[in-house]
Amino acid sequence: MVNGVMHAGTVSLTAIAEAVGTPSYVYSAPDIATQFQQLTTDLKGLNHRICYAVKANSNLSVLRSIAELGASFDIVSGGELQRVVSSGADPRSVVFSGVGKTTEEIDFALKLEVGCFNVESTSELTRLGVRAALFDRVAPVAVRVNPDVDAETHPYISTGLKENKFGVPSTDALALYMTAQTHPNLRVSGVACHIGSQILSIEPFSDALDGLLRLVDELDAKGIGVAHVDVGGGLGVAYQDETALDTAAYGAMLRSKMAGRSQTIVIEPGRYLVANAGLLLTRVEYLKPAKAPGCKSFAVVDAAMNDLLRPSLYQAWHAVERVIEASNDAAACVWDIVGPVCESGDFIAHERTLSLAEGDLLAIRSAGAYGMVQSSNYNSRGRAAEVLVDDEGFRVVRSRENINDQMDLEQIGLRP
């Protein structure tokens, strides 16, 4: 707060709202840089490469700012690969993950010579070999192993258990490596895993790495060397009162287990870099105070579940704050912060104690990850604008959608 007004860096959020409107996502480039530099410091002494997980926030300007920090990229679709390239980054810095790569996506990645394909099935490896031969390319591969490790996170973002769709069982991985080793258009590059998102303790990471290193030793005994060990992402952050992952302890664990080994450690943080560097600006449209015992009081804002899906999808908690401090004599009430979408599941937050008036500007905190990327046009709502704040001020990095933007790709298709 500066003189009772919330800021992003040196920029007043009221100034952004007046210039751009609401709802709008606001990202802080300096805050992203701080997180990147903290992780780099905590990994000091470890031969490592940081590959930002594009799925967390794929805005082109955000990608450009992260590339300028020295990051590589982790992608899960051809669209994300195009975004990385369009941001000016080198496709050879890219790790291509994802359980359902299409032939078109594989071809695109081969033509651009991505750094590594994280293969997730026997069928994918077969298809990759065929397509690489067709283009006379040699595709670098790592097998994504499903280590059956409980990441102790929300079930929707757990990816390393045997009942999850991702990766291959460790018992099947060796056969895939043997196939890749003998294929003229495939080159074994590394081993990989990813056990989930928003992980707050070191133990699941440690257990998963133990499994990967056993596989490295197995491969070495078969004469198959690997250049890197991809431990995935999932580094948890604080949204409410939880303790964020101790990245210093995480780095110490990696250094200890990799001592005496030559492989590069690849880490794929997404949320860790951008979640708390972003917020969603929204304005109160209507107040519906409770009129009878047992009824709820609702603050209807102009942001909705189509803008920020995490509360409805994951029951996620986001701090909600007034952008301008309330006067001392303003009465606080308990409100459910809800949007205008025609769903009872359309909410931003439940039971928040705030002093509110219609027209107030609110900041939804920790919205830099999995906010805009999960947004939709439900109820024919235009997606929010995106704003990036840096040392020079702020700029719109994605314009607000209008109804014509949505309808441009549609045709009524009347028969003559």
Residues labelled catalytic: 342
- Spatial contact of 399 and 385, defined as CB atoms under 8 Å apart: yes
Residue 333 parent element (H or E): strand 333-338
Peptide bond before residue 23 is cis, with ω within 30 degrees of 0: yes
* Closest residue by Cα to residue 282 from 212, 339, 333: 339
Question: What whole-number distance in Å separates Cα of residue 130 and Cα of residue 136?
Answer: 10
How does DSSP classify residue 167?
Answer: S
- H helix or E strand, kind and range, residue 9: none
| DSSP assigned state of 344 | T
How far, in Å, CA of 77 to CA of 102, rounded?
9
Question: At 291, which amino acid appears?
Answer: K
Instruction: Determine the residue type at 120.
Output: E
Nearest to 269 by CA among 235, 245, 238: 235
Contacting residues for 157 by C-beta, under 8 A, at least 6 apart: 196, 197, 198, 314
Cα-only R_g, the chain: 23
3-state secondary structure of 71: coil
Nearest of 39, 33, 71 to residue 248 by alpha carbon: 39
Alpha-carbon gap, residue 234 to 149, rounded angstroms: 13
Residues ≥6 apart with Cβ < 8 Å to 179: 122, 125, 186
CB atoms within 10 A of CB 144: 27
The answer to whether 146 and 160 have CB atoms below 8 angstroms apart is yes
Tokens, residue 403: 């109804």
